[in-house]
């Protein structure tokens, strides 16, 4: 074998493992996409509906933000960051060499994947989305493409994603992965400009494309091959070097690796800020919109999922105790469902691998509520414009059935009145959790239901009460 070929092979090998000095620009693109003769952006409505079906029925998932940022936990050199915990590297302008020490010392000795999946199931959640790699670039899996991961860079040296994907599979929970396009560590991404939020100059775009083709795509291929995620949840798409053309290509590439996978709209550049939906001006890639820290104002013909924190941070912060009440979280879930959306509720485990007790308490409260009222959330669809009556009543319908649900966040009194539901004669009406068939009448376009107050008090519910109306129809 001649000397030139040996040198070329050596360069190719050395530049495959990411390290600041090794990002080679001579590297041929290593991206390969299977099934690349199919255009996944031209999918039929029937195929799309079939692919989305489990996710639409699930309605409720667990978001997990976890990584090296749990080590500082919002505090750097004695100063509390005012921003979210997972942004501490940028908001406190921590030099890469300094931040890498957090990755090295990351040692979640109390992490137990089965316990996390149990907490998810106890909450009535049906799927998980965990940060495989957030903006800081640190990977929670054993990557062949990079040394900046839990296996090579940290003292922990166990494959977190493998443990979680196995635990989810065992409990029939769909396993999803968050992946940040923006990367503050990779030398061809934003490593030297992350403090300035990336800079859109010629050289950066060329380097970013090297990162995109020779690092990001190979990492995504190994994530899909090794952990079989049902969802890929992209983020950090606003980084200036990432283009709409790359977004379309990325969607095709990921679908070609696993055609049944679901991909959010942050795979491309169409998201309108925190409102989360595509701006509709042009065709962007992505299967569902991603409102963040908010729920859509009304219904949408598009699929969407509102992602939200329980306190004010995604990644763990020692001193963030601003927890939303369980009632607020249940309202958000029901409000989203009544508008046809999913709810992805976040937990931020600490550096030991423990989900905060305040999160566990809220997850249990939501799960207890869903044990009685879940049929009004799972496998439902929006009734359209009549999805609400005032501020505290939300109305849903069972998918492919004439059953309606009216959930009230104010405790019903002797007679409960609904303005937009007209049951067929002889329909049965219940309060979920109470077996009794309720008396009702319909007069002057109002449905009046007699409420069994004794049974209602014995139910012991304290957040919201759901009326189930069989064979009902909305105006």
Binding site for ligand FHN (CB under 6 A): 84, 86-87, 235, 292, 307, 314
Task: In angstroms, give the least distance from the CB of 74 to ligand FHN.
Answer: 13
CB nearer ligand FHN, residue 73 or residue 370 = 73
Looking at beta carbons only, is 55 or 314 nearer to ligand FHN?
Answer: 314
* Closest CB 61 distance from ligand FHN, rounded Å: 13
Question: Smallest gap, in angstroms, from Cβ of residue 42 to ligand FHN?
Answer: 28
Q: List the Cα angle 222/225/228 in 5-degree steps.
A: 120
- Of 204 and 313, the one with the shorter C-beta distance to ligand FHN is 313
Tell me how far apart the 2 most distant CA atoms of the chain are, in Å.
92
Query: Which residue number, 87 or 227, has a Cβ lying nearer to ligand FHN?
Result: 87
**Distance of closest approach, residue 166 Cβ to ligand FHN, in angstroms:** 24
HEC sequence for the chain:
CCHHHHHHHHHHHHHHCECHHHCCCCCCCCCCCCCCCCCHHHCCHHHHHHHHHHHHHHCEEEEECCCHHHCCCCEECCEECCCCHHHHHHHCCCCHHHHHHHHHHCCCCCCCHHHHHHHHHHCCCCEEEEEEECCCCCECCCCCCECCECCCCCCCCCCHHHHHHHHHHHCCCEEEEEEECCCCCCCCCCCCCHHHCCCCCHHHHHHHHHHHHHHHHHHHHHHHHHHCCCEEEEECCCCCCCCHHHHHHHHHHHHHHCCCCEEEHHHCCCECHHHCCECCCCCCCCCEECCECCCCCCCCCCCEEEEECCCCCCCCCCCCCCCCCHHHHHHHHHHHHHCCCEEEEEECCCCCCCCCHHHHHHHHHHHHHHHHHHHHCCCEEECCCCCEECCCEEEEEECCCCCEEEEECCCCCCEEEECCEEECCCCCEEECCECCCCCEEEECCEEEEECCHHHHHHHCCCCCEEEEECCEEEC
Residue placing its CB nearer to ligand FHN in the complex, 91 or 104: 91
CB of 349 to ligand FHN, least distance (A): 14
Tell the smallest beta-carbon distance from residue 84 to ligand FHN (Å): 6
What's the CA gap between 95 and 23, in Å, rounded?
19
Q: Is 66 or 463 the residue whose CB approaches ligand FHN more closely?
A: 66
The residue among 63 and 156 lying less far from ligand FHN, judged by its C-beta, is 63
Phi, psi of 66 (to 5 degrees): -150, 140
Q: State the minimum distance, in angstroms, from the CB of residue 175 to ligand FHN.
A: 18
Taking the complex as a whole, the smallest distance from the CB of residue 371 to ligand FHN amounts, in Å, to 28
Q: Measured from the CB atom, is 235 or 368 closer to ligand FHN?
A: 235
Our CB check for ligand FHN shows the closer of 288 and 387 to be: 288
> Rounded to the nearest whole angstrom, what is the least distance from the CB of residue 235 to ligand FHN in the complex?
5
Nearer to ligand FHN, 84 or 363 (CB): 84
Closest among 198, 150, 180 to 264, alpha carbons compared? 180
What's the min distance (Å) between Cβ of 426 and ligand FHN? 47
């Amino acid at each position: 074998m001649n000397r030139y070929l040996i040198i070329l092979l050596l360069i190719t090998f050395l530049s495959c493992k990411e390290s600041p000095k090794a990002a080679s620009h001579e590297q041929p693109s290593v991206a390969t996409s299977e099934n690349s003769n199919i255009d996944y952006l031209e999918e039929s409505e029937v195929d799309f509906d079939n692919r989305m079906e489990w996710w639409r029925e699930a309605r409720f998932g667990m978001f997990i933000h976890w990584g090296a940022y749990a080590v500082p936990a919002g505090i750097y050199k004695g100063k509390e960051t005012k921003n979210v915990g997972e942004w501490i590297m940028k908001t406190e302008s921590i030099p890469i060499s300094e931040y890498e020490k957090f990755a090295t010392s990351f040692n979640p000795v109390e992490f137990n994947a089965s316990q996390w999946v149990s907490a998810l199931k106890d909450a009535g959640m049906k799927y998980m989305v965990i940060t495989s790699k957030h903006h800081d670039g640190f990977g929670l899996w054993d990557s062949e493409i990079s040394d900046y991961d839990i296996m090579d860079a940290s003292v922990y040296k166990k494959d977190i994603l493998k443990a979680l994907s196995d635990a989810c599979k065992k409990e029939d929970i769909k396993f999803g992965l968050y992946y940040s396009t923006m990367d503050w560590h990779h030398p061809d991404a934003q490593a030297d400009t992350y403090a300035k939020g990336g800079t859109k100059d010629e050289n950066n775009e060329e380097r970013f494309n090297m990162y995109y083709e020779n690092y990001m795509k190979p990492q995504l291929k190994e994530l899909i091959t090794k952990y079989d995620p049902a969802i890929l949840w992209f983020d950090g798409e606003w980084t200036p070097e990432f283009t709409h053309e790359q977004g379309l290509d990325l969607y095709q590439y990921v679908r070609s690796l696993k055609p049944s996978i679901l991909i959010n709209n942050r795979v491309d550049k169409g998201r309108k800020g925190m409102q989360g939906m595509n701006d509709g001006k042009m065709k962007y890639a992505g299967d569902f919109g991603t409102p963040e820290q908010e729920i859509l104002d009304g219904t949408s013909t598009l699929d969407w999922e509102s992602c939200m924190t329980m306190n004010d941070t995604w990644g763990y912060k020692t001193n963030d105790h601003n927890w939303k009440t369980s009632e607020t979280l249940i309202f958000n879930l029901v409000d989203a469902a009544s508008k046809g959306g999913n709810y992805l509720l976040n937990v931020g485990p600490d550096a030991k691998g423990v989900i905060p007790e305040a999160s566990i308490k809220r997850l249990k409260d939501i799960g207890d509520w869903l044990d009685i009222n879940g049929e009004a959330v799972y496998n439902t669809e929006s009734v359209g414009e009549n999805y609400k009556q005032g501020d505290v009543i939300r109305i849903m319908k069972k998918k492919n059935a004439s059953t309606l649900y009216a959930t009230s966040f104010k405790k019903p009194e002797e007679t409960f009145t609904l303005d937009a539901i007209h049951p067929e004669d002889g329909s049965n009406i219940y309060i979920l959790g109470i077996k009794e068939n309720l008396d009702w009448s319909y007069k002057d376009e109002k449905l009046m239901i007699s409420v069994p107050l004794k049974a209602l008090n014995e139910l012991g519910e304290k957040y919201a009460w759901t009326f189930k109306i069989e064979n009902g129809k909305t105006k």
